[in-house]
Amino acid sequence: MQIFWYLPTHGDGRPLATNIGSREASHAYLKQVAQAADSLGYDGALLPTGHYCHDPWIIASSLIDATRRLKFLVAVRPGLMSPAVSARMAATLDQISDGRAVVNIVAGGDPVELGADGLFLDHDTRYKLVDEFLIIWRRLFAGERVNFVGEHFHLEAAQLLIDGRWPQIDIYFGGSSEAGQLVAARSADVYLTWGEPPRQVAEKIRQVRDLAVRAGRKIRFGLRLHLVVRETTRKAWQAANDLMRYVTDDAIEIAQSLFSRHDSVGQRRMVQLHKGKCGKLEVSPNLWAGIGLVRGGAGTALVGDPRTIAARIQEYHELGIDTFIFSGYPHLEEAYQVAELLLPKLRSACKQPHVQSVAAG
């Protein structure tokens, strides 16, 4: 089991939907979060992408010397950069960090945001672009001299010429649509999904695994979700409610209006969990959808005491999830909270023989 944390390159804070107590995504603050994750035993950290985020390549590069073992899971948006250029950047990051580069391929789901960056493709066409991007990427890292003429990319004699050995950098990729799952099955090392209820996650795993088998490949699975873990269940739910204390009906309406323009199937599935209302937000035992009322992307959190949350995570692990990307507000304090209360139980569970057999399958 791999456990990653999250670097809030778009800013941080304790309560949601307010500037009260907000924290700027300064380099000094991100360095604190990265060093905490590094020293506390997290395997890596996800760096997101988007027009509200600092550039993940630059932030990751700037934190190499501040950390010792932390992997940098850098979000990459195909279509905004040539696959050859991004492969060279990834190879450079991997080399100067002594093998700590990982990439998360993000197709994007907000047409307005994508248009602001000059990308005007519909949903399925974006995934065709990603497919070509990853075909080229894998060939470059295989040491090939690549000539490629596709619908979206045309490269002649492309090659990674930087000195060094090129182990395959793991590719994480998420997509809930049929088009996204097909790309993942063909080219991803790890299929990443947001924290949906176990039954829904199990169905996704089955679908993507079947597609990968048809493509003659094996694929691993990862889960991205928030955590609210405290010494007792009562304290955990109190902390979850505290996150929402400034969330108003107007704030929810504005956020949901923004999400409605997205063509991301994954975002729609997140919205379906809470339906834009503060009603029944515990959508599965200990799985709370409150964050998704005002936050796009990963919108669910596991809430509870350490023993209960460890059991819920184990349920996902037994479905086939072997990488977990966690976060919590604020990310500096919650990195410690999770490491002190939860990680020992997860590490202990992974040493049990029946867990090892699941992870190997």
C-alpha 63/C-alpha 67 separation (Å) is 6
Name the one residue in this structure whose structure tokens are 């200990």.
286
- What confidence tens digit (pLDDT) does each residue in 303-318 have? 999 999 999 999 999 9
Q: Looking at the predicted structure, is the pLDDT value of residue 356 above 60?
A: no
Percent of the chain at pLDDT exceeding 90: 93
Question: Which residues, 6 or more positions from 96, have their beta carbon under 8 angstroms from its beta carbon?
Answer: 61, 64
- What confidence tens digit (pLDDT) does each residue in 218-264 have? 999 999 999 999 999 999 999 999 999 999 999 999 999 999 999 99
Residue 74 is assigned to a structural domain of this protein:
yes
Any idea what the CATH number is for the domain that residue 67 is in? Answer: 3.20.20.30
For 206-240, letters b (16+ CB in 10 Å) and e give ebbbebbeeeeeebbbbbbbbbbbbeebeebbebb
- DSSP tag of 12: B
Residue 207 is assigned to a structural domain of this protein:
yes
Q: What is the pTM of this model?
A: 0.94
Residue 357 pLDDT grade (very low, low, confident, very high; cuts 50, 70, 90): very low
Residue 241 is assigned to a structural domain of this protein:
no
For residue 215 the two structure tokens come to 């493509």
> Which residue type is seen at 58?
I
Residue 166 pLDDT grade (very low, low, confident, very high; cuts 50, 70, 90): low
C-alpha 358/C-alpha 156 separation (Å) is 44
Domain residue limits at 87: 2-227+304-359
For residue 169 the two structure tokens come to 């950098």
pLDDT at 165: 63
Residue 317 is assigned to a structural domain of this protein:
yes
Pairing state between β 71-76 and 44-47: parallel
Indicate the number of domains in the chain: 1
Residue 263 is assigned to a structural domain of this protein:
no
Residue 312 is assigned to a structural domain of this protein:
yes
Backbone angles phi, psi at 118, to 5 degrees: 90, 15
Q: Looking at the predicted structure, is the pLDDT value of residue 348 above 70?
A: yes
- What confidence tens digit (pLDDT) does each residue in 263-301 have? 999 999 999 999 999 989 999 999 999 999 999 999 999
Q: Tell me the H-state helices in 43-110.
A: 56-62, 83-96
pLDDT at 279: 85
Residue 160 is assigned to a structural domain of this protein:
yes
C-alpha 33/C-alpha 27 separation (Å) is 10
E strands, 253-346, are 282-284, 287-288, 301-304, 321-327
pLDDT at 164: 59
- What confidence tens digit (pLDDT) does each residue in 35-59 have? 999 999 999 999 999 999 999 999 9
Residue 284 is assigned to a structural domain of this protein:
no
